[in-house]
Amino acid sequence: MPEEILEKVAEAPAVAVEKTIDTSKQLAKDFVNQKQVKKARAYWKLLGPGLTTGASDDDPSGIATYTQTGAQFGTQLLWLAPFTFPLMSVIQEMCARIGLVTGRGLAANIRLNYPRWVLYLCTFLLFGANVLNIGADIGAMAKATELLLPQINFGVFVFFFTILSLVLQIFTTYEKYARYLKWLALILLSYVLSTLSMQLDWIDILTNTAIPTITFSKEQILIIAAILGTTISPYLFFWQTSQEVEEEILEGKTSIKLRQEETSNHELRNMRIDVWSGMFLSNLVMFFIIAAASGTLHLSGITTIETADQAASALKPIAGDQSFLLFTLGIIGTGLLAVPVLAGSASYALSESFGWKTGLSKKLSQAYAFYGVIIISMLLGLALNFLNINPMKTLIYSALANAVIAPIILILIVHLSSNKKVMGDRSNNLLTSLIGWVVVGIMFFAGSATLISLVI
């Protein structure tokens, strides 16, 4: 008995030490987890206009373009996802920096620094292209919802999504509206999840992602131009710049002078993280949609997809109910995100062009013209769904308008952001300007190739 007691006494320190070590490990683990949670929260709080701009780039029209790419050419053009990522990121960073440094939107800066005819040409072409895109996106959302609720008429959904979008833009405060757009951006992850749930040839996917190939056929030139047009889109330029200004107003910088004087290097650093994160999400989703379409539709011999809802319905018998449901919900969510961005960017451009009171931070009674443009563009987009226009033609017309104006606006963006009189010591460095001019050349070539391919 005494021996047992002595053994227990001898073991006690070892047990105590072991328990102390276990407790220390757990405390350390909890501390690390808490730090990671804090970092994640800080990162999420930092994200804003860049995230929503990037997410809105993957609208139903973009989804249709990416799906058609995978269905028609398999994995061959997957390299476009990593290729376009730095190009669009640099351009959107320029737009955001212009907004932060000048305290004005893009159209307002163009109005102050260039001939009016250039501004009006860009603005009205942008408005026309955006209306076509709004119509296509509203129709895609309605068709996608009809897949889930076939007993309800298509027209009901078209009116529902139009009214819902208008209510959110006009009667919601900017702070709540920006938060809504930010959370809605996460719907894009449904495409990642739906693709990962499929059985795909990942070696083939990664090979074609790393090694660019192109055949220079008319069909491939058109689809590449469409991808460039839907990823480096003019409406994103205007939206990004204006949203940076809106965020500054939300922080209390209500005058242009105040916004110009109080832009810090810390704000610019956070903006760059936001922009590059948003563009990464956008191109990640492009990658997974093309991969999903190539591994399902292309392998099954389905090579023509005209709309995003057709892509969802075609996926159901091939990829299963889970992928179909995630894909369909993604169309609805991205449409709800993109349509307000399209209408808003058109309104920012027109309102700034004519010097009207501008901004979602203002109430309807304070900016009738600004909200009037939003309402008109939404109603015109709604009307397009009842004119029996082929949805693919709508996308082509929209792409053509973008092909004409994108190079012009890009020239102005690169020139503005390089101008020390406008940007001071926050102007472009040599590498940024070089990348910017490369993007101008690529978009000019893409637009010209599209026009030539359609004529020949």
Domains for the chain: give ranges and CATH numbers: 48-455 (1.20.1740.10)
Nearest 5 degrees, angle CA 66-CA 164-CA 183?
60
**What does the pLDDT read at residue 6?**
47
**What does the pLDDT read at residue 382?**
93
Residue 341's contacts (CB-CB under 8 Å, 6 or more residues apart) are 52, 53, 56, 181, 235, 236, 239
**What does the pLDDT read at residue 94?**
96
**What does the pLDDT read at residue 353?**
92
| Helix, strand, coil percent content, the chain, rounded in steps of 5 | 85, 0, 15
Residue 433 to residue 411: CA distance in whole angstroms:
11
Determine the straight-line distance between the first and last CA of the chain, rounded to whole angstroms: 103
- Cα–Cα distance list, 145 to 78, 105, 324, 326 (Å): 29, 35, 12, 12
pTM: 0.86
Residue 88 to residue 311: CA distance in whole angstroms:
26
**What does the pLDDT read at residue 2?**
57
**What does the pLDDT read at residue 15?**
53
Encode 92-116: b = buried (16+ Cβ within 10 Å), e = exposed: bbbbbbbbbbbbbbbbbbbbebeee
What sign has the CA pseudo-torsion 226, 335, 309, 77?
positive
Residues in the chain: 456
Cα dihedral 126/130/132/133 (nearest 10)? 140
Q: Return averaged pLDDT per consecutive 10 residues of the chain, 456 residues in all.
A: 53 55 58 75 86 86 86 93 94 95 92 91 88 89 87 92 91 79 82 82 93 86 85 90 87 78 85 94 93 87 76 70 77 86 92 90 89 95 85 64 81 94 92 95 84 70
